[in-house]
Structure 1
């Protein structure tokens, strides 16, 4: 299944401004958010198994934040 062919009930795990969300296609009321990617993926897989649906994980969008400290010369 291609990522753009999600069907009703499929689970999509994605990053929304640092919060990881399991979005249930067509059933937003049972979507959930998590503070860690790992937890969201684990719970997304469980929910997909319960619903008999597919689960995909979208990569996080680059934030453009420099994470390495700048060293003074």
Structure 2
């Protein structure tokens, strides 16, 4: 069994208990970001899904874009 540090959604305290927060009983989440790989095989599918769900605005310039 892998042990992951988890964070309570409600009280923001950290715990190793996987299901519920031992302090307030709320759900917990994994606070770590997903792993990044420069050779990402699925980036094309994620971009297509974001475009189809209208969460990616293609008309808006990115923050890092310099004129």
TM exceeding 0.5: no
TM-score normalized with structure 2 length: 0.25
Q: TM-score, normalised by structure 1?
A: 0.24
Larger-Rg structure = 2
Higher strand proportion (structure 1 or 2): 1
Higher RCO (C-alpha 8 Å, min separation 6):
1
Q: Of Structure 1 and Structure 2, which has the larger fraction of its residues in helix?
A: 1
